[in-house]
Amino acid sequence: MSEGQFDVAPADLAALNALDDALEAAIESGDEATFRKALHALLDDVRKVGKELPPDSLEPSELILPPADADIDEVRQMLGDSGLIPD
């Protein structure tokens, strides 16, 4: 997200995975408007449910999300077998 690290509780991952699935579908369809909405929804939800860690925190990151201004091709390259957020 290029804005720091967030600690997300395991209980919140199911909702994030649903948003991740919507993002993947938008990428597959090539619909820029839907992609943009889905990306922002995912990032907004991480900010909402996650606890922001201090800027000097050096915690290992289990996943890295794209910045809000990333384009479809950049995010497509980041996708793994199970999206940005593993099941």
Question: Euclidean distance between the first and final Cα of the chain, in Å?
Answer: 19
What is the per-residue pLDDT for 1?
41
What is the per-residue pLDDT for 49?
95
Residues in the chain: 87
Domain parsing of the chain, residue ranges: 10-79
Both tokens assigned to 83: 């999206």
Give pLDDT < 50 ranges for the chain.
Answer: 1
What is the per-residue pLDDT for 64?
84
What is the per-residue pLDDT for 32?
94
Q: What is the 3-state secondary structure (H, E, C) of the chain?
A: CCCCCEECCHHHHHHHHHHHHHHHHHHHHCCHHHHHHHHHHHHHHHHHHCEECCCCCCCCCCCCCCCCCCCHHHHHHHCECCECCCC
- Give Cα 56 distance to the centre of its chain: 22
What is the per-residue pLDDT for 69?
94
